[in-house]
Structure 1
Amino acid sequence: MNAGAVGLDTQPSATTYDLDDLIANAWRGRIRVPHFQRDFRWSTQDVIRLFDSIVKGYPIGSLLLWVRKSPATRLTLGRLSMDAPAFEESLWVVDGQQRITSLANALHPEGHLYTPFSIYYDFAARSFVAKSKAREPHHIALPILFDLERLIEWFANEGRSSAEHFKEAQRVAKVLRTYKVPAYLVRQDDEQVLTDIFDRMNNYGKRLSRAEIFTALFAGPEEGAKDRLSLDRIADRIAERTGFGTVDTDTILSAILARRGPDPARDIRNEFDSVGRRTAPEFEEDRDTAYEKGEEALVRAVDFLQRYVGVPHLSLLVYRPLLVVMTRFFAHFSEPEENTLRLLRRLYWRVAASGPTIFGGSFTQFDRILSARIKKGDESTSIAGMIGTTAGVQPVLPNADRFRTNEAAAKVVLSSWWSRRPRSFVTGQPFDEQDLSTLLADQTTAATVAYRIFPRGLTSQQRLLAANRLFLPTTTDPVDEIPTLLTRPPLSLDEEVWNAVLESHCLDHATVQRLAEGDRDGFLAMRQEVVSGQLSNFLSRMAEWNYEDTPSLDSLDLDELDDLPE
């Protein structure tokens, strides 16, 4: 939306709704949420604070509602689904979605069944509380409290022991039903004006993510929204197609922007407006095509990471900007030469191991620096420019003495272990990508499959050692008995297979013998040495620190050499 766009035809009109009427409108389908709105993000505590503010008479902020004609449809509001009739004047929520969704669900018998809407009023404490496993007799569900007939029936039966709280119940119920909610009503046919308002409102206070703003700005018309790609849908489709996990929408957006131009951090408001952009996009296309092509480039980048780089899942991806850069590269060069793939792998592992030192100590400009090196139509110059950013970087070994699954060093260690094809201590078989994908699903770290050998009884320094972890994406190995698992091989596995199992986890008979003898310190020291050595060998092989970063012979114009004088 550019700055010179036409504004509102008429000023918004101010009104107020009794909460009772507002909720009735929501339940009958008159209140609707535009498809450009962000997903519901409130927690149980957010919902509790909302109701607490209402009962205390505090303001909860104004709503901004877009008045427009709407057809009959099946719609969803939080956990509520309903067949909504057509309305000449339905109310579309431009600002206030979290509040309306919370109120409509927490006060409804069906919506109340689900977290975070399962809220009760505690008569004894005179406060709102979340549902507990052992609900007290003086706790009443909000849908009952909100409905006068059900409230009287509750006190006559289930709540008979709380009869002394009836007056308090009447007071709270009356406050809820009659609480005044201020609202501004906007009557405007131009959806771009509404998305512009949405953007500006959410640049104050608690900001939306960049992906959420982009989605709002370029959501397109309400009609047909369910059939169009969105950033969330792209994330889900990539996870389904690759087993890589669900990439966050901000990274998805950055990847799509990087594909279309060298600066993925550029201003997004004029992305599909040729008039407002400073530079022309590298692909002339509409939003839907950009999403479709962006998804394909992302899938190629993920496939490269999985098959060639040795990063099977998002939880092992050291830095997400690397996925953004790879997406841009594979958007322009869908089938790179073999030597180019090798140089790309070299780049990934040099950056992964060295971290921000390559880029002057900060990753702020990281994806912009590398993306700018990728030149449309020139694979050789692009890869040379990218790998050139690592020139002069000395070999670096991540610290295996501090293993935290959300940190870069641990992700590198885990990738090095994955390269050994870790095996099951029960079956002797290697785990595969499907095992990892099934167990990690949408998780962003590998914490749930990187088990501690000794959960207790170690010093604070020993607890952080990589040597105290096993990479076991398993549903069969008894992971709560790891020390026993390591020292008692199953009778079904012969010595050759057992040796392969131990080796796949940076173990051998001498190390395991220390464990069998109860020498934890000796076991950890020996295994830490093996882990560090294996990590060093892995990075030497993948980062190829001492190799010449030259393009392949195929990329050189040898005909020009023939023209040189002898």
Structure 2
Amino acid sequence: MGTAGLETQPSATTYDLEDLITHAWSGKIRVPHFQRDFRWGTQDVIRLFDSIIKGYPIGSLLLWVRRSPADTLTLGRLKIEAPASEETLWVVDGQQRITSLANALSPQGNPHTPFSVYYDLAAKEFVPQPKTLEPQHIPLPVLFDLKVLIGWFRGEGQAAFEYFDEAERVAKILRQFKVPAYLVRQDDEKILTDIFDRMNNYGKRLSRAEIFSALFAGPEEGHQNRLSLSRIADRVADRTGFGTIDDDTVLASILARRAPDPARDIRNEFEESGRRAVREFPGEERDTAYAEGEEALVRAVGFLQTHAGVPHLSLLAYRALLVVLTRFFAHFPEPQENTLRLLRRLYWRVAVAGPAVFKGSFTQVGRVLSARIKQGDERGSIHGLIAAMADAPTSPPNAVRFKTNEATAKVVLSAWWSLGPRSLVTGQRFDAQDLATLLGDQSTAAMAAHRIYPRGLTPQQQLLASNRLFLPTSTDPVDEIPILLGQRPIDLDDRTWNAVLASHCLDDSMIDDILNDNRNSFLTKRQESITKHLQEFLNRMAEWNYEDTPSLDSLDLDELDDLAE
């Protein structure tokens, strides 16, 4: 570790809150693009103001002083036209606090969650915006501006005039509250991102993706045109309709493409020295790694949708599998047909077995399987992957516990998707676009997996897969599923209606149970039907009874002839 650091020690200063907020509103305070996204909720914002009014310390700020051009800024909900300045204050530490203060105290920011905070003059406490406003409820922008405050008590707040002294007291504390800050004058952005990394590894830790983004953010200038992890996630979602992959999975996928261990140390990823991992793309810069990583990720998603029967992120059993597939498609962008078939086997064998095969760790899933993928050896890589699952269990998961955030439900939903679920109203088959439109960025399929009987069942029955129907629709009346099932639409003939029922693991006897309100019988029959279909689906996708041998076209027949002579 080198000894180079700051050229000059940070200088300490304090700001009145009123001056600090004025700087933020005018664009003199800016948030670097390598900072994490805003994370606070309404209660966090309320606690911040409660600390201020009680005179508690709220922590010091670390501000980077530098020259900055004119720009249009986004700070929380605020859009700010910022002029050029010789001494702009960039927030290295304190983003959540400054963003909360600037928005909650602004007439433009305060109406929006999580900044919509009021002061209850009677209870003497900060509260979320009340559903029913009483005279004693005063929005913070009014409280913060003395002239506006006086006008408020003369107008809409006249009924609360008895609390004027309390309002004046709180307003004065807010405006004059002292916020300590350290000012750093340093041109080297690497030192600033190093400080950011170190500060955010104490207390509430950042995610790996947030740290990585900070370390390799590049210069502030031109960042709008560079790829970032979140931008890659958005682009993949737009290109595939698969949903928005979280930044940590995007990062792990990019890392897996470049070297076998996606959980390796990230601080020297693009350094020529100091890295232990083998370089599979030596000399590759960050922007190239991001662009190529995006392409490999798109190919991996395309495989899941086209070959593995996983149309949306919400049906992906384990995200570690997406990381492994990204590495595979980075090295083998156009695999042979037999390779694709074996990859499908791999996905479903891991989906059924879960991380238990890999010491119960999702990190190990990514590490072990990624290490089996050898650059330049497609055949050896796929058979190494399949061999890793040689001792995995082959029994299907039990569908008695259906929770859309768990792997079992995701496997069941994929099996249902293979049936081509149809609308109970039109009889039309739902397609991947219907699923993408309904679920969007949702990480689970809860919005598409509707309860047939929302009430009147035991807790155990409520959890059964047989009490769910996979309807990715925004138009079918999903609150009336028993009624819909019991009354065939008059414009659907018998053949179409039978196809609708079959697409949901239903038959006429189950519909009779619904009509007669025989719920126990219905759930039992449908659970048996779901279990049977799930077994057939997994047998077809995982192909446990097939030989995991290379295809004929992958063999060197000339070499075999030589051996026979």
- Class of the TM-score when normalised by the shorter of the 2 chains: over 0.9
User: Aligned with 2:363: secondary structure?
Assistant: coil
Tell me what 1:522 maps to: 521
Tell me what 2:139 maps to: 141
Q: Which amino acid aligns with 1:37?
A: Q
Range moving further from structure 2, 330-339 or 126-135:
126-135
- Contact 2:421/2:504 (8 A) holds in 1: yes
User: Aligned with 1:423: secondary structure?
Assistant: coil
Tell me what 1:105 maps to: 103
- Contact 1:18/1:179 (8 A) holds in 2: yes
Is residue 364 of structure 1 aligned with residue 377 of structure 2? no
Aligned pairs for 1:306-325 (under 5 A) are: 306-325=305-324
Distance of 2:8 and 2:490 partners within structure 1:
81
Tell me what 1:77 maps to: 75
Tell me what 1:89 maps to: 87
Tell me what 1:305 maps to: 304
Tell me what 2:218 maps to: 220
- Contact 1:274/1:280 (8 A) holds in 2: no
Once the two structures are superposed, residues 72-105 of structure 1 have per-residue CA deviations (whole angstroms, 9 ceiling, x without a partner) of: 1111111111111111111000000000010011
- Contact 1:235/1:252 (8 A) holds in 2: yes
Distance of 1:237 and 1:153 partners within structure 2:
49
- Identical amino acids, percent of aligned pairs: 71
Tell me what 2:494 maps to: 495
Once the two structures are superposed, residues 434-466 of structure 1 have per-residue CA deviations (whole angstroms, 9 ceiling, x without a partner) of: 000000000000011100000000111111110
Is residue 436 of structure 1 aligned with residue 435 of structure 2? yes
- Contact 1:468/1:524 (8 A) holds in 2: yes
Tell me what 1:334 maps to: 333
Distance of 1:513 and 1:344 partners within structure 2:
42
Give the gaps of 5 or more residues in structure 2.
none
Q: TM-score, normalised by structure 2?
A: 0.99
User: Aligned with 2:97: secondary structure?
Assistant: helix
Distance of 1:5 and 1:292 partners within structure 2:
34
Aligned pairs for 1:226-375 (under 5 A) are: 226-284=224-282, 285-375=284-374
Q: Which amino acid aligns with 2:286?
A: R
Aligned pairs for 1:546-557 (under 5 A) are: 546-557=545-556
Residue 280 of structure 1: how far off its partner (Å): 3.6
Distance of 2:27 and 2:448 partners within structure 1:
44
Residue 5 of structure 1: how far off its partner (Å): 6.0
Residue 279 of structure 1: how far off its partner (Å): 3.0
Distance of 1:133 and 1:188 partners within structure 2:
48
Q: Which amino acid aligns with 2:37?
A: D
Distance of 2:526 and 2:452 partners within structure 1:
12
Residue 511 of structure 1: how far off its partner (Å): 1.3
Distance of 2:544 and 2:166 partners within structure 1:
73
Residue 395 of structure 1: how far off its partner (Å): 1.3
Residue 40 of structure 1: how far off its partner (Å): 0.7
Tell me what 2:401 maps to: 402
Q: Which amino acid aligns with 1:406?
A: N
User: Aligned with 2:186: secondary structure?
Assistant: coil
- Contact 2:71/2:84 (8 A) holds in 1: yes
Q: Which amino acid aligns with 1:61?
A: G
Residue 358 of structure 1: how far off its partner (Å): 2.1
- Contact 1:394/1:545 (8 A) holds in 2: no
Give the gaps of 5 or more residues in structure 1.
none
Tell me what 2:392 maps to: 393
- Contact 1:426/1:476 (8 A) holds in 2: no
User: Aligned with 1:447: secondary structure?
Assistant: coil
- Contact 2:320/2:363 (8 A) holds in 1: no
Once the two structures are superposed, residues 50-91 of structure 1 have per-residue CA deviations (whole angstroms, 9 ceiling, x without a partner) of: 000000000000000000111111111111111111111110
- Contact 1:19/1:177 (8 A) holds in 2: yes
Distance of 1:207 and 1:394 partners within structure 2:
37
Distance of 2:101 and 2:361 partners within structure 1:
44
Is residue 157 of structure 1 aligned with residue 155 of structure 2? yes
- Contact 1:435/1:473 (8 A) holds in 2: yes
Range moving further from structure 2, 464-473 or 385-394:
385-394
Distance of 1:565 and 1:212 partners within structure 2:
58
- Contact 2:299/2:333 (8 A) holds in 1: yes
Q: CA, structure 1 residues 485+224, in 2 after alignment: closer, same or farther (shift >3 Å)? A: same
Range moving further from structure 2, 100-109 or 553-562:
553-562
Distance of 1:449 and 1:274 partners within structure 2:
48
User: Aligned with 1:563: secondary structure?
Assistant: helix
Distance of 1:518 and 1:485 partners within structure 2:
14
User: Aligned with 1:309: secondary structure?
Assistant: coil
User: Aligned with 2:143: secondary structure?
Assistant: helix
Q: Which amino acid aligns with 2:193?
A: T
Distance of 1:400 and 1:282 partners within structure 2:
42
Distance of 2:343 and 2:454 partners within structure 1:
38
User: Aligned with 2:182: secondary structure?
Assistant: strand
Range moving further from structure 2, 60-69 or 385-394:
385-394
Distance of 1:187 and 1:6 partners within structure 2:
15
Once the two structures are superposed, residues 313-358 of structure 1 have per-residue CA deviations (whole angstroms, 9 ceiling, x without a partner) of: 0000000000000000000000000000000000000010111232
Residue 401 of structure 1: how far off its partner (Å): 0.5
User: Aligned with 1:68: secondary structure?
Assistant: strand
Q: Which amino acid aligns with 2:549?
A: T
Tell me what 1:505 maps to: 504
Residue 565 of structure 1: how far off its partner (Å): 4.7
User: Aligned with 1:560: secondary structure?
Assistant: helix
Distance of 2:180 and 2:564 partners within structure 1:
85
**RMSD value, Cα:** 0.9
Tell me what 1:448 maps to: 447
Moved over 4 A (4+): none
Partner residue of 1:175 out of 164, 173, 184: 173
Distance of 1:70 and 1:6 partners within structure 2:
25
Residue 399 of structure 1: how far off its partner (Å): 1.1
User: Aligned with 1:498: secondary structure?
Assistant: helix
Tell me what 1:64 maps to: 62
Q: Which amino acid aligns with 1:75?
A: L
